[in-house]
Homo-oligomer: A and B are copies of this chain.
Amino acid sequence: MVVTKSLASRVKPARMQPKAAAEASEDLPPNLGELADLLGYSLKRAQLRVFEDFLRVMTPLQLTPAQFSVLLLIEKNPGRNQTEVASTLGIQRPNFVTMLDSLESRGLCVRLRSASDRRSHVLMLTDKGRATLMRAKKLVAAKHEARLSELLGESNRVVLVQMLAKIAREL
């Protein structure tokens, strides 16, 4: 690639690359350089890849990672209200309303008026929600986490999760 002189003169030339000596870099993909050592960069790329694989595996059940986490949390903590579940997952309460609308309209969970505090909605899984979640867990374990375990080795996978949890907790 040659640069027109009048335009190029506006910037300091970063060492003219000899056309023939441009060797590998002319037709090969760009070099990541220091980007490859940046934790945030590999973290983001890995997260996108993992979510992509999660969605692929979960296609038959049509559950996003966020929806799956909501169902898991309600199952483990039945009777909690929207504020509690949302804040545990780092979801803003207004945004959680739409998420719940979706899950409830699919018959996976219900909002029940609390008798002790009539402002709050107690969250519970339906039978269908429990059944769907059980199928989802099996899919995730058998096709998603298993694939990661195969790629990294199970002990490394566990170490990885613990390091990530530590970052989320303590950074």
Contact = CB atoms under 8 A, between A and B. Distances in A.
Interface of A: 1-5, 7-14, 17, 21-22, 25, 29-51, 53-54, 65, 69, 72-73, 75-81, 84-85, 87-88, 90, 110, 112-117, 120, 122, 124-127, 137, 140, 144-145, 147-148, 151-152, 156-157, 160-161, 163-171
Contact of A45 (B8, B12, B120, B164): B164
A139 B21 CA distance: 25
B137 A31 contact: no
Number of copies: 2
A38 B140 contact: yes
A125 B14 contact: yes
B14 A124 contact: yes
A contacts with B: majority SS: helix
A49 B151 CA distance: 25
A30 B77 contact: yes
A73 B32 contact: yes
The residue in A75, A77, A164 that gathers the most chain B C-beta atoms within 10 A of its C-beta is A164
A115 B3 contact: yes
Contacts of A4: 112-113, 115
A84 to B, nearest CB: 6
A44 B39 contact: no
A19 to B, nearest CB: 10
Contacts of A79: 1, 3, 17, 22
